[in-house]
Every structure is written in structure tokens, then in C-alpha cells.
């Protein structure tokens, strides 16, 4: 059976070059970089090299890179650390209704601690109104947190414009760039962000490692205590092999990003156009302009059927996709992103996210487009919703045939 993986927004396979670079740090170079003896010195240089590789991708100083365990930790660190550090200046945070749960749940936690949070709405295409964002800023606002790219829809947000707004009002700006890194150019200087979070396993590095850009001079309260690692900003023994892998993955992303963008964009567009041409009653859950989306992501609802049923049939054909973000799989509730966009609850349950990677091929897209229409039709034939749908208007020839029969 074929195995076709179209769930790269959930996680990606570790790249061969990354794994090769990591292996020595599980064997010969096993030391703790905090140790002062030869075994520690042997690996501390590798961490600093990885820091330089991450910084080169982001266009920042290596001293502004902090290694973490994952993107969720970074979001917690940025938001809670800012709230604690700037509590004397204000208690208001602005974010969006379509953020990753690591942001939303952190903000909800802070609300219980006395902070006020404004959750910006999005339109039916999932996009923000920047006038609404600027109007929400008050003299108590200490942080704006907006993701660079949405993990479910693939929508890209106007980070540079938001950065200018934040800078103009002297408000700190944090962005979760987990889905954007390696897919589109990310430059922290152009974007004028103060904090940015990325995750290794989204770009061909292993799970369990991530990084945060923290602009030089930015006050933040430590999120983890117990050691003096990362210049006393984040406690915990370094995941040396993972950090080395992340560094190599960032270097590969910097070198291959343009070529990968063109490759996955072409295949994504072919998949999108093929679905729209061969399957009736579908709806795109994203901005209609492909240039305002990640090149690899397609979110589409198939009316009258359950997305989970469609995924089961996909799995039997060897196709791996998603009904939303991996962090909310298993929940019976429709995606909070779909709800925020005003997607009908039934239609939201039928949404499927396809997220491609540089290893996907045109033959795989052809296979999916050949298998998808009969699967959808089979599920609709079993659906009472499909049989109760409004009848479609008859064409003139059909009208004449009905009249003759009657």
C-alpha cells in the first residue's frame, strides 16, 4: 500500500543530514556542556555553532537565541515572562482568536491572575483587521501576540505591519512563528518583533527542541528555575543532540527555502485546483489569495460528511492528512479556528487540512486526486444530510426531460 504523508504541519521527518549531525552527541560527545572538564568543553562549542545557525536564519545575533524544549514552552515563556516583568506598567494583552492553544490557554491563565486580554476577531477568510488591533491598544497594553502563520488555514498575517504598530505605541510584540519557519522568509529585524518562537520538529529536526528569539535588552522574567543555563534565562540541562539537529535544520532551511517554496506551492496549487474541479460542495477555509498563505497548506471542507470519516478512508488508502491541528486531535469540538471564522458547525466538522513537504511528489498528488472523489461520494451516499440537501436547479435539457416524463 502507498504511504503518502500530507500532515507536515503536525510534524516532519528528521532530515538525513540532521540525524547524521546528531548521532555523535549520543555516543562519543556525550558530555554535559555545563561541565568544565574536557567532556563538557567538547560539546559546548557545538551548542554555540547551532546558536549561530539559528541566528543566521532569523537575522539576529546569536546572543539573542535561547534554546528551549518546544514551541509551546517558548510561547509560555514569552507571554508569562512578559506579564511578570511588566506587571508594574500594565496588565493588558492583545492576541487573536485563532492562535495556537499554547498562546490562548496561556492568556486564559493570565486572565485568572488579574490580566485583561483582548482576543481580536478574524473575518470569514480568517484575516485580521489592523485598525481593530491598533484601536485595542491602551495605556495598559504591555504585549501584542500574533502568530506569523496559522497552523490550520495556512494564512499569513501582516507581521511587519503589526511590528510597526507595536513599535509606534511602544508595546512589546511576540509572534509564534512555528509554522512559518522554513516555509517563508522570516526576518526579525524587518518584522520588528521582540520575541519569536520556533520548533525543531516542524523543519526536519527532532521533537523536543525549539528556540526563542529575545531581542537584546528585552526585560523578561525567567520561566524555568533550577540552573544557570542559557545565560541564566532558562534552566535545564541542554538537549545537546537536539540543539545540534535544530542548528543543521535551520541551516538547511536557509539554503533550500526558495526551492522548497516553489516545489510545495506548485503541488499544493495542483491539489487545490484538482479538488475544486472534481469534487462538488467544497469550501476553502483560508484566504482566497494563495500569496497570503503558506505555500504548503490547504484547508478545505467537504459538505455533508464528517472529516474524521474521510480521514479513516484516507488512511485505508495510505494517505495521512489531518482534521485540524495535531494539538486538538481527539476533541469532539470543532476547530476554534473554524469557529472564529464563522464556519458553520457542521461544515467545520468536515474540514481537512493537507500540509505538504518538500518530499512530496506530483505522482502522489495525482493518486490523491484519483482516490478522493469516489471516497467523498461514497460517504455522501451514506449521509442523511446529503440526501436532505436542497435540490440543485435543473438545466434546461433536464427540465425538458422531466416534462416529457410527466
Nearest to 57 by CA among 246, 241, 194: 246
- The beta strand positions in 267-364, using DSSP E, are 282-284, 297-302, 319-320, 351-355
Note the helical H segments in 279-388. 307-316, 336-340, 345-348, 362-381, 384-387
Q: Cα–Cα distances in Å, from 397 out to 393, 400, 401, 403?
A: 12, 5, 6, 10
> Concatenated DSSP letters for 97-131?
TTS-HHHHHHHHHHHHTT-EEEEE---TTS---HH
Looking at residue 331, what is its pLDDT?
A: 56
Sign of the torsion angle spanned by Cα atoms 146, 147, 150, 151: negative
Helix, strand, or coil here: 270? helix
Looking at residue 232, what is its pLDDT?
A: 79
Looking at residue 46, what is its pLDDT?
A: 95
Looking at residue 145, what is its pLDDT?
A: 98
CB 355 within 8 A of CB 183: no
pLDDT, averaged per 10 consecutive residues of the chain (406 residues), comes to: 95 98 93 85 92 98 98 98 97 98 98 98 97 98 98 98 98 98 97 98 98 97 87 89 98 96 97 97 95 97 93 96 63 84 92 97 98 96 75 43 36
**CB-based burial, 237-268: b 16+ in 10 Å, e otherwise:** ebbbbbbbbbbbbbbbbbeebeebbebbbebb
Nearest to 90 by CA among 63, 60, 66, 110: 110
Active site residues: 327
Looking at residue 269, what is its pLDDT?
A: 98
Is this model's pTM higher than 0.85 or not? yes
Looking at residue 392, what is its pLDDT?
A: 47
Amino acid at each position: 500500500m502507498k504511504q503518502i504523508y500530507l500532515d507536515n504541519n503536525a510534524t516532519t521527518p528528521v532530515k538525513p543530514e540532521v540525524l547524521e549531525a546528531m548521532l555523535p552527541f549520543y555516543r562519543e560527545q556525550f558530555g554535559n556542556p555545563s561541565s568544565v572538564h574536557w567532556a563538557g568543553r567538547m560539546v559546548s562549542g557545538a551548542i554555540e555553532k547551532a546558536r549561530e545557525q539559528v541566528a543566521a536564519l532569523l537575522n539576529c545575533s546569536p546572543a539573542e537565541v535561547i534554546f528551549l524544549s518546544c514551541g509551546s514552552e517558548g510561547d509560555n515563556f514569552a507571554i508569562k515572562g512578559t506579564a511578570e516583568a511588566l506587571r508594574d506598567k500594565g496588565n493588558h494583552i492583545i492576541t487573536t482568536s485563532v492562535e495556537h492553544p499554547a498562546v490562548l490557554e496561556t492568556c486564559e491563565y493570565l486572565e485568572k491572575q488579574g490580566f485583561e486580554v483582548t482576543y481580536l476577531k478574524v473575518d470569514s477568510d480568517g484575516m485580521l483587521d489592523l485598525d481593530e488591533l491598533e484601536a485595542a491598544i491602551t495605556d495598559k497594553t504591555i504585549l501584542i501576540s500574533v502568530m506569523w502563520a496559522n497552523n490550520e488555514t495556512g494564512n499569513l498575517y501582516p507581521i511587519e505591519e503589526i511590528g510597526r504598530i507595536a513599535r509606534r505605541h511602544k508595546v512589546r510584540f511576540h509572534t509564534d512563528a512555528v509554522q512559518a519557519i522554513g516555509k517563508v522568509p522570516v526576518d526579525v529585524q524587518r518584522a520588528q518583533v521582540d520575541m519569536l518562537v520556533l520548533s525543531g520538529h516542524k523543519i526536519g529536526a527532532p521533537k523536543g527542541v525549539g528556540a526563542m528569539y529575545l531581542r537584546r535588552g528585552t526585560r523578561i522574567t525567567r520561566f524555568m528555575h533550577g540552573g544557570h543555563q542559557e545565560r541564566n534565562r532558562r534552566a535545564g540541562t541542554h538537549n545537546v543532540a537536539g540543539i545540534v539537529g535544530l542548528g543543521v535544520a535551520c541551516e538547511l532551511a536557509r539554503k533550500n527555502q526558495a526551492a522548497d517554496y516553489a516545489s510545495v506551492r506548485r503541488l499544493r496549487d495542483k491539489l487545490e485546483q484538482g479538488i475544486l474541479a472534481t469534487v462538488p460542495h467544497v469550501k476553502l477555509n483560508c484566504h482566497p489569495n494563495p500569496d497570503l498563505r503558506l505555500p504548503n497548506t490547504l484547508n478545505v471542507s467537504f459538505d455533508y460528511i464528517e472529516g474524521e470519516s474521510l480521514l479513516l478512508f484516507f488512511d485505508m488508502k495510505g494517505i495521512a492528512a489531518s482534521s485540524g491541528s495535531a494539538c486538538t486531535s481527539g476533541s469532539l469540538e470543532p476547530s476554534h479556528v473554524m469557529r472564529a471564522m464563522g464556519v458553520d458547525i457542521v461544515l467545520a466538522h468536515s474540514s481537512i487540512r493537507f500540509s505538504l513537504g518538500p518530499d512530496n511528489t506530483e505522482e502522489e498528488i495525482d493518486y490523491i486526486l484519483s482516490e478522493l472523489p469516489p471516497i467523498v461520494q461514497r460517504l455522501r451516499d451514506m449521509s442523511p444530510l446529503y440526501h436532505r440537501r436542497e435540490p440543485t436547479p435543473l438545466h434546461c435539457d433536464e427540465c425538458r426531460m422531466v416534462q416529457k416524463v410527466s
